[in-house]
């Protein structure tokens, strides 16, 4: 009974530590990530001024994927060590980390800087794949969901459109994110994956294809909240500023096309 109580206390401590770290990481990284994303995305969009009507669908699509994927990857490279701490502390069941600084010290001593960046390559690959699927599905569903008497301002239809595209992109890219987490968890361990390909092969061989989608159902429910937040953000932008983010870029592209 005493042992069970100790294990219960330890488990509760791990949950609190992981949750607290997650809260701190998200609070610190959210504004930084937003600034980096918008800065890089705006820079590349200004450089890759490909218009769908003038340059064709695929150039327009490549421009969106490259600008958005590079922006997200840039912020990820900058903030990845914090993400590593969040994942490790949230999933800690046996290492008994005392907190962020304890984990930082152990990882630095054992794995050097490489320990903080395991899985970053496969994570960046997943970002580009996600955006490619997201924009293509969005482009495919938009005339279907927002057709007929539906207006673009119809909140329910726009929510369904955003959620559907997000789920499709996440479904394809989810195995990349799962492999990223598995590679993160090998820091401080004696056995490590030699590469993302090795991780994919090892997981497939030992656990099967289904293991790549563990927790995906819960993640789909999580995406409902994400799509709702994006919809509310767009609504707030229209109310406060009378326009949406990126609307000026669209107007410049239209001027270029008609001019």
pLDDT attached to residue 5: 46
Q: How far apart are CA 122 and CA 80, in angstroms?
A: 12
Question: What CATH superfamily is the domain 120-259?
Answer: Mitochondrial carrier domain (1.50.40.10)
Q: What is the pLDDT of residues 68-110, one digit of tens each?
A: 788 888 888 888 998 898 888 877 766 677 778 888 899 999 8
Domain boundaries 1-117, CATH class: mainly alpha
Among 70, 71, 151, smallest CA distance to 142 is for: 151
Contacts by 150-159 with C-beta closer than 8 Å and gap 24+? 155/231, 155/235, 158/231, 158/234, 159/227, 159/228, 159/231
Q: Is residue 207 exposed (0-12), middle (13-18) or buried (19+ Cβ within 10 Å)?
A: exposed
Q: For residue 229, give the H/E element and its range.
A: helix 216-241
Task: Inform me whether the pLDDT recorded for 166 exceeds 80.
Answer: yes
> Which of 115-119, 220-224, 226-230 bottoms out in mean pLDDT, i.e. has the lowest?
226-230
Topology match between the domains 1-117 and 120-259? yes
- Indicate the domain borders of the chain: 1-117, 120-259
Q: What is the pLDDT of residues 99-149, one digit of tens each?
A: 788 888 999 998 999 999 999 999 999 999 998 888 888 888 877 777 655
pLDDT attached to residue 8: 47
């Amino acid at each position: 009974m005493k042992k069970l109580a100790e294990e219960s206390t330890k488990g509760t401590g791990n949950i609190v530590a992981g949750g607290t770290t997650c809260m701190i990481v998200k609070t610190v990284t959210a504004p930084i990530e937003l600034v980096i994303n918008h800065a890089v995305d705006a820079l590349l969009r200004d450089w890759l001024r490909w218009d769908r009507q003038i340059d064709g669908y695929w150039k327009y699509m490549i421009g969106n994927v490259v600008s958005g994927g590079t922006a997200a990857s840039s912020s990820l490279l900058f903030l990845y060590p914090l993400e590593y701490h969040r994942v490790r502390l949230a999933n800690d069941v046996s290492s008994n980390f005392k907190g962020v600084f304890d984990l930082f010290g152990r990882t630095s001593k054992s794995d050097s800087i490489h320990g903080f960046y395991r899985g970053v390559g496969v994570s960046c690959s997943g970002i580009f794949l996600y955006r490619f699927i997201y924009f293509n599905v969005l482009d495919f569903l938009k005339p279907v969901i927002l057709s007929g008497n539906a207006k673009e301002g119809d909140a329910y239809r726009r929510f369904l459109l955003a959620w559907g595209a997000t789920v499709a992109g996440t479904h394809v890219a989810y195995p990349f994110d799962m492999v990223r987490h598995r590679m993160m968890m090998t820091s401080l361990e004696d056995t490590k994956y030699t590469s993302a390909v090795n991780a994919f092969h090892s997981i497939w061989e030992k656990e099967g294809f289904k293991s790549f989608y563990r927790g995906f159902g819960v993640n789909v429910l999580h995406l409902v909240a994400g799509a709702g937040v994006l919809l509310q953000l767009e609504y707030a932008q229209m109310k406060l500023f009378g326009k949406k983010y990126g609307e000026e870029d669209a107007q410049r592209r239209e001027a270029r096309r008609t001019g």
